[in-house]
Amino acid sequence: MNYHLVLTRRCNLNCVYCHGGEETGPQAEVQYSLDDLAAFLEQDDDVQLMFYGGEPTLRIPLMTEVMDRFPNARFMLQTNGILLNKIPEDYARRIHSVLVSIDGPKDVTDGYRSKGVYERVLENVRWLREIGFDGDIVARMAVSQESDIYRDVHHLLNLENPGFDHVHWQLNVIWDAEGNWKDFDSWVKESYNPGITQLVKEWVAGMKSGKVAGIVPFLPVMHTILTGEPSVRLWS
């Protein structure tokens, strides 16, 4: 089973679509011991641990302590990428999948997240490959008012040095969504739905020629269509 471990609720960014920033108080940090966690996980013989936040790389010592305590677990990380290169190399190489927050081209990503974030993220993803990381690197988009899903997914899929193995996204309809949209319904009708339609057409055409682009939201759906089996997260 896949367990999400919120290592901290604090974050080192203050993105426009998220509460972000400095959460204070005892509930911002882990309230249980590793002994408690071990007792909880002891009956599971296939432990998968996702380091999550806030921003989990603000608590790298806790992350490495967990990895030492559960050497047979499979580890995943969701991170904004700013401190990715601060993880000790031998621990970084042990992670199976890294989901890095990046929203599309430089102007889109920096517009949502802060100036310089786009280049910093790509620099640290390059570092990850340079140290010999051979796991899955996923570009994890947050899609909001200034996003063009067709343009932004294509941008991330076509990047080289570094390249991403997969692209995934989440619509900004959960956090502080009411203050982020001028006209959500019109955006969906005029931008998002046409963009998704075009992505699907090109994705299917690519498969006919033997190429399956790593567009995460499409993969489980196609798996079910082809096999009749329940969708699974083939990319994790």
pLDDT of residue 235: 45
For residue range 191-210, list pLDDT tens digits in order: 999 999 999 999 999 999 99
Please indicate, yes or no, if residue 113 is contained in any of the structural domains.
yes
Please indicate, yes or no, if residue 88 is contained in any of the structural domains.
yes
Alpha helix locations (H) across the chain? 34-41, 60-69, 89-92, 106-113, 117-130, 149-157, 184-187, 193-208, 219-227
Asked whether 193 and 143 are in contact (CB, 8 A), the reply is no
**Tokens standing for residue 125:** 């993803």
> 177: domain CATH number?
3.20.20.70
Instruction: Check whether 21 has a pLDDT greater than 60.
Output: no
Please indicate, yes or no, if residue 231 is contained in any of the structural domains.
no
Q: What is the DSSP letter of 226?
A: H
Please indicate, yes or no, if residue 146 is contained in any of the structural domains.
yes
pLDDT class for 1, splitting at 50, 70, 90? confident
| Domain limits for position 30 | 2-182
Please indicate, yes or no, if residue 99 is contained in any of the structural domains.
yes
Task: At 51, give phi and psi (nearest 5°).
Answer: -80, 125
Domain total for the chain? 1
Asked whether 76 and 145 are in contact (CB, 8 A), the reply is no
Please indicate, yes or no, if residue 236 is contained in any of the structural domains.
no
Please indicate, yes or no, if residue 71 is contained in any of the structural domains.
yes
Is the pTM of the predicted complex or chain greater than 0.75? yes
Instruction: Check whether 59 has a pLDDT greater than 50.
Output: yes
Share of the chain above pLDDT 90, in %: 78
Instruction: Check whether 48 has a pLDDT greater than 50.
Output: yes
Burial of 17: CB neighbours in 10 Å, binned 0-12, 13-18, 19+: buried
pLDDT class for 84, splitting at 50, 70, 90? very high
Please indicate, yes or no, if residue 24 is contained in any of the structural domains.
yes
**161 φ/ψ sector (left φ>0, alpha ψ -120 to 50, else beta):** left
pLDDT of residue 178: 65
Question: 52: which residues sit within 8 A by CB, 6+ positions away?
Answer: 4, 5, 6, 7, 78
Instruction: Check whether 233 has a pLDDT greater than 70.
Output: no
